[in-house]
Amino acid sequence: MGGEKLPNQYQPSVHDWRPGDRIASIAVSEPVSKTGLGTVQRVILDKAIVVWDDGKQSVERLQDLIYGGNDPSKIVLKGESVEQQIREELKSTSERVAVNRTLIAGFPIDTIGNLVRWR
């Protein structure tokens, strides 16, 4: 029993996930929308960013997804917006690092205003 291979029909299949794939997830305990369906927006290593039909977003493991077709019109995270989000996140992270270094170095708190872009 230990060395037997399952017949091909029972082998897990590997899908080449891509933006626009309509999916359901076995990892969701409650339906996140009335349809229970979402759309893959990005695939990152072994995870997918999914926007559900009710507008909520989650990160799902690829092995938990069930393929339900492809609809490119459902892609909402375009490459430019993702790049912009990453740029903003990196900028805020570098600001936090600069503030922490200033505080650790013992500089007066009023010098922090020059390091941070206040919104």
**8 A C-beta contact, residue 39 and residue 58:** no
Q: What's the mean pLDDT in 110-119? A: 61
Closest of 75, 70, 67 to residue 42, by C-alpha:
75
Q: What is the mean pLDDT of the chain?
A: 75
**8 A C-beta contact, residue 40 and residue 21:** yes
> Is 4 contained in some domain?
no
Residues 19 and 69 occupy one common structural domain: yes
Predicted local distance difference test score (pLDDT) of residue 22: 92
C-alpha gyration radius of the chain: 22
Q: What is the pLDDT of residues 19-58, one digit of tens each?
A: 899 998 888 766 666 778 899 998 888 899 998 888 888 8
Q: Which of 7-11, 38-42, 77-81, 98-102 has the lowest mean pLDDT?
A: 7-11
Residues 65 and 48 occupy one common structural domain: yes
Residues 87 and 39 occupy one common structural domain: no
Do strands 57-61 and 65-70 pair parallel, antiparallel, or not at all (unpaired)?
Answer: unpaired
The H helix count followed by the E strand count for the chain is 1, 5
Domain with 22 in it: 13-74
Residues 85 and 68 occupy one common structural domain: no
Q: Whole-model pTM?
A: 0.52
**Overall domain count for the chain:** 2
Residue 60 has pLDDT above 60, yes or no: yes
Say which residues have a Cβ less than 8 Å from residue 48's Cβ, sequence separation at least 6: 17, 23, 40, 41, 42, 59, 60, 62, 65
